[in-house]
Amino acid sequence: MSKCNINPDRPLIVGPENLEKPFPIAVSGTVVKGFGRGSRELGIPTANLSDDALEEMFNECDTGVYYGWSQVGSKGTTVYPMVMSLGWNPYYKNEKKSAEVHILHEFAEDFYGEAIRVIVAGYIRPEQNYPSLDDLIRDIKTDIEVAKSSLQRKAYNELSNDALFTESQ
Please tell me the distance from the alpha carbon of residue 122 to that of residue 138, in angstroms, as a whole number: 20
What is the pLDDT at residue 166? 85
What is the pLDDT at residue 1? 43
Please tell me the distance from the alpha carbon of residue 73 to that of residue 117, in angstroms, as a whole number: 9
What is the pLDDT at residue 67? 98
Tell me the one-letter amino acid at 132. S
Count of beta carbons in the 10 Å neighbourhood of residue 169: 8
**Domains in the chain with CATH codes:** 26-165 (2.40.30.30)
Q: Give per-10-residue mean pLDDT for the chain (169 aa).
A: 72 95 91 67 79 74 94 83 86 73 88 90 93 89 97 97 82
- Going by C-beta distance under 8 Å and a sequence separation of 6 or more, which residues neighbour residue 31? 47, 48, 49, 50, 72, 111, 112, 113, 114, 115, 116
Please tell me the distance from the alpha carbon of residue 45 to that of residue 104, in angstroms, as a whole number: 10
Question: Catalytic residue positions?
Answer: 100
